[in-house]
Amino acid sequence: MFTIFYLIFFGILGAIFASFAVAQVWRLRASQIANDKEELSRKSNIKILKNIINKKDKVDRSRCLHCGYYLRWFDLVPILSWIILRGKCRKCHKKIGYTEIVAEIFGFVIFSVLFIIFNPIHGSHIDISLLSRIICLYIIFIPLLILFIYDLKWSLLPTKILWIFNILAFIYWCLGTYNQQDILNIISNLTIAIIFFPITYLILSLISKGKWVGDGDWILALGLVLLMPNLPIFTILLLLLSNIIGLLFIVILSLINRKKIKRGAQIPFGPAMILAALIIILLQGYIFQILVSVY
């Protein structure tokens, strides 16, 4: 009974966090456009964000991107409000889009599944160490979702959000290693992982001037490595899975657009890395079992 309650509670929390993250995506985009002359010159950007660009209200409230209608509390209930309003603004009746509902459902599912996997509550006993890590992981979900959506939509990774994510990821890593004995081995494993993935991507980015690897990809990789179990094999798996998912993105985009992806075309790699990291986090228990059986 209590397990179901916790699943629903954390699921709702995940939907709320996802709703907040999506709202920040639009605020960040509006801020970037307002401060970037090149972006400001694009009419498509101005059209959809005209109601929040350069708006400095005393109270920062969510509003409709089409008509500027300030959303009330009953317009902001995750999942339910979108379904009740059939994905449209209450005032102008224009379509809101699917980003919000997909993100909120995704948040609900991910938070519930994470609780099942890392369940820190066993009867009357609560594992404080595990609870602190899962809470940290829940908070990390916000900047990760912002980065995922932003890069998927505009092929950009906001630097500010990247470093917020990295700080939170470092806290998560510290929570998982502070009471372990072999500190030297832990640090050496982390160093190998960082050299193998983030540093390699930094070098590739510098050599190609951002053409082979995006300028923000190595920063994102740094934080994602900190979320992995402290074994270099997980970083290798993260890199391989990221590239596989990236290739799938290319195939899907080719099918959707019904044309071949040209050589040298830039594909947002951030979402691929984030999805890969999430899959590994969720399946790390099974991966450990496979590694133990092999070795």
| Residues 77/16, Cβ–Cβ less than 8 Å | no
> For position 6, what pLDDT does the model report?
87
Q: How far apart are CA 233 and CA 189, in angstroms?
A: 10
If phi > 0 it is left, if psi is from -120 to 50 it is alpha, else beta; for residue 262 that is beta
Among residues 127, 149, 145, 126, the alpha carbon closest in space to that of 137 is found at 145
Q: How far apart are CA 99 and CA 69, in angstroms?
A: 19
> For position 114, what pLDDT does the model report?
93
Residue-wise pLDDT for 48-87, tens only, equals 565 555 555 545 667 777 787 788 878 889 999 999 988 8
Among residues 45, 68, 41, 44, the alpha carbon closest in space to that of 57 is found at 68
Tokens 């966090």 sit at which residue?
17
Q: Which amino acid is at 205?
A: S
What values do phi and psi take at 95, rounded to 5?
-65, 135
Q: For the chain, list residues with pLDDT below 70.
A: 1-2, 36-61, 257-266, 295
Report if pTM > 0.85: yes
| Residues 160/36, Cβ–Cβ less than 8 Å | no
Tokens 């609900």 sit at which residue?
108
Residues in the chain: 295
Tokens 């309003």 sit at which residue?
85
| pLDDT above 90 coverage of the chain, percent | 49
Q: What is the DSSP string of 44-103?
A: HHHHHHTTTTT---SS---B-TTT-PBPPGGG-STTHHHHHTTTB-TTT--B--SHHHHH
Q: Helix 232-257 and helix 217-227: axis angle, to 10°?
A: 130
CA-CA-CA-CA dihedral for 68, 30, 23, 113, to nearest 10 = 150
Name the token pair of 151.
Answer: 């890069």
> For position 175, what pLDDT does the model report?
92
Q: How far apart are CA 268 and CA 59, in angstroms?
A: 34
> For position 12, what pLDDT does the model report?
95
CA-CA-CA-CA dihedral for 87, 88, 90, 94, to nearest 10 = 170
| Residues 127/183, Cβ–Cβ less than 8 Å | no
Burial of 140 (0-12, 13-18, 19+ CB in 10 A): buried
| Residues 101/79, Cβ–Cβ less than 8 Å | yes
What values do phi and psi take at 40, rounded to 5?
-65, -25
